[in-house]
Copies of this chain bind each other. A is one copy, B any other.
């Protein structure tokens, strides 16, 4: 489902000029949905090696301002980016000890978020919602001592 078309339309309505580079970045981002900046740069360069790293970041900033992309810093490995536009809202639950990350949905939250934004006169574009805790295994395993959490690449653990 060519969602990148919707994103491009949204950008146009915001008065953002769509260059070849930006189009490429948008398409690759939408293809991934979850990615680190490094992955996106590598991937974009695979299609067009001439695209500069800076351009990818600049486009990412644009997408964030347009409410298309969110940045998640779980403190495990590099931060990762997520395309939240035109996607069912979902949230993250992370084990602070082993680094497991569970992505889940809670439809009842959405209207409440809308309402909260409205209460302050805001037009809601996107959100991030992260719950931190201990997974069952880690509760049993490490009642006492905190383990140095392993370095996980986020793309391995995001469901």
Contacts and interface: CB of A to CB of B under 8 A. Distances in A.
A126 to B, nearest CB: 5
A104 B116 CA distance: 9
B125 A134 contact: yes
A78 interface: no
Number of copies: 2
Interface residues of A, number: 51
Q: Is the interface of A mostly helix, strand, loop or mixed?
A: mixed
A73 B15 CA distance: 26
A130 interface: yes
Contact of A124 (B61, B129, B133): B133
B122 A65 contact: no
Contacts of A66: 146
A136 interface: yes
Interface of A: 14-16, 61-62, 64-67, 70-71, 73, 75, 79, 91, 93, 95-97, 102, 104, 106, 108-109, 112-113, 116-117, 119-136, 139, 144-146, 149
Given A95-B122, A124-B131, 7 more contacts: A16-B146, A65-B97, A66-B146, A108-B112, A116-B131, A123-B139, A128-B128
